[in-house]
Structure 1
Amino acid sequence: MKFMIEWTYVTPKKKEMVLTSDFVSAEEALILAEDFEKTGRVKEIIFYDERRIAWTKKELIKLLKELETEPHDIIAYFDGGFDRQTKKAGVGAVVYYKQNRQPFRLRANAQLQELQSNNEAEYAAFWFLVQQLEQLGVHHLPVTFRGDSHVVLNQLAGEWPAFADEGGWLDRIEKKLKKLGIIPTYEPISRKENSEAHHLATQALNDIIIASTIQLER
């Protein structure tokens, strides 16, 4: 999570002024706040997260300790594939995250029926990814979403308009993200950069189902 620091500074002539910082990581925000306090001229310090929710220093320290045992620093990839002949869809999801100060990777896929196009498979893949995050216990945290479906990501970001048949998927996804309190960042990438999720979607089309979580080397 990233935080903006707002502190009330008192000048040598006892004049007060409110100053703010850029958004920085929680760890960096605490280090900066401690440096400010060493000046002896800070009356009050408040930390604002990306949702503009205010935190005291004590609350932020407690939050960081709690986050150590929960999934955080999350980067999530998705991809969907569709076979026109069989009318089957394959969806793949890859989630990189940290927990208890260790890095992990989750990989999962699924084969779906009753979809109509490759485009719809991409929406279904994103929905599948969000379901994986929910099962992982991700909530009230920023998540970076990456995929080679620029349509899905740009529509979720509000950059591109959505057609009526796409709106149902988008509404479902946005409601779930809101329920989980996830703060999304959408990053369209190339097919090559999305090879892991693409491979999982292809495996699902070939009836190879994957569900694994491993701890990665540092």
Structure 2
Amino acid sequence: MNIRIECTYRTAKGTEAFFRSEEMPAAKGVIIAEDLERTGRSKNLVFIDNYDSSWTMKEMKGYLKGVETEPHNVTVYFDGGYDRETQKSGLGCAIYYEMNGKSYRLRQNAAVAELLSNNEAEYAALYMGIQELEQLNVHHLPVRFIGDSKVVINQMSGEWPTFEKDLMRWADRIDQKLKDLGIQPEYELVPRKANAEADRLATQALNGTEISGTIELIPEK
């Protein structure tokens, strides 16, 4: 979860000013907020999340302790491809998350035959990513969903209306699954080259190569 710090700062001579920080990961925010509090000159310090909810220091520390042993800081890249000649679709997703102080990447793809368009394949890829989150026991957290499909990203974020019945069914299905899991989605549209990993997984699925697995990401020294 990303947060902003808000507080009132009082100088030694009594002059006060209101400050709001840039957005940052919650764990980093707690470290900075603790340092501010040690000065003895900050007051009314709170954390504001992406949904404009306010958190006290105690609440934020409790949240961080609770999620330490569960997947958090989750980002899902998804992509779907449709082959008109074979009428088959390839779905791909790459999920990045942290748990127990370590970083992980999960990759999954699938080939399906019952979809009718590229847009439907994109929706199916997003839904597959959410199913993987359910298997990881991700719940009641904000999650970033990143894709290169203008249709899916803009429709799911509410920027565009959804008129096609097939796509509407997918959107409703996804919204319900996210609600059931308590996931707060953040949708981000990126250029295709910035979604290369998910795109490659979808293409591999179309070509008959199955990918499924999770690895720990070791920081470079």
Q: Same fold (TM over 0.5)?
A: yes
Tell me which amino acid in the other structure corresponds to 1:136.
L
**Structure 1 CA distance for aligned equivalents of residues 148 and 97 of structure 2:** 20
Matched, 1:100 2:100: yes
- In 1, Cα distance between the equivalents of 2:94 and 2:127? 13
User: Structure 1's 110 and 47: CA in aligned 2 closer, same or farther, altered over 3 A?
Assistant: same
Q: Give the conservation status (yes or no) of the 8 Å contact 2:9–2:19.
A: no
Give per-residue Cα distances to partners, 1:72-130, cap 9 Å, x unaligned: 22221111112223322111111112222212110101122221111111111111111
Whether the aligned pair in 2 keeps the contact of 1:4 and 1:20 (CA below 8 Å) is: no
Q: Post-superposition shift, 1:6? A: 4.7
Q: Which piece of structure 1 moves more, 51-60 or 207-216?
A: 51-60
Pairing 1:190–2:196 present: no
Asked if the contact 1:89–1:111 (Cα under 8 Å) also holds between the matched residues in 2, the reply is yes
The secondary structure found in structure 2 opposite 1:163 is coil
Q: How far, CA to CA, are the matches of 1:185 and 1:108 in structure 2?
A: 21
Per-residue CA deviations over 1:135-193 (Å, capped at 9, x if unaligned) read 11222222222222121111112222222322221122122223323232222222222
3-state secondary structure, aligned to 2:139: coil
Unaligned ranges ≥5, structure 2: none
Map 1:97-136 → 2, pairs under 5 A: 97-136=97-136
Aligned residue in 2 for 1:207 = 208
Partner amino acid for 2:127?
W
Q: Which amino acid aligns with 1:172?
A: R
RMSD: 2.7
Q: Provide the rounded CA distance (Å) in 1 between the counterparts of 2:43 and 2:146.
A: 42
Q: How many residue pairs get matched?
A: 217
Q: TM-score w.r.t. structure 2 length? A: 0.83
Letter in 2 for 1:90: G
Range with greater deviation from structure 2 (127-136 or 64-73): 64-73
Relative to structure 1, is the Cα distance of residues 103 and 35 closer, same or farther in structure 2, using a 3 angstrom cutoff?
closer
Q: Which runs of 5+ in 1 are unaligned?
A: none
1:75 aligns with 75
Write out the 4+ residue segments of structure 1 that deviate beyond 4 Å after TM superposition.
6-14, 17-20, 41-44
Q: Aligned partners of 2:5, 2:62: CA distance in 1, in Å? A: 17
Q: Percent identity?
A: 52
Partners of 1:190 and 1:29 lie apart in 2 by: 30
- 1:116/1:32 CA distance change after superposition, 3 Å: same
Instruction: Quote the residue 2:62 is aligned against.
Output: 62
Amino acid paired to 2:85: Q
SS of the residue corresponding to residue 93 of structure 2 reads: strand
The 1:18/1:52 distance shift into structure 2, 3 A limit, reads farther
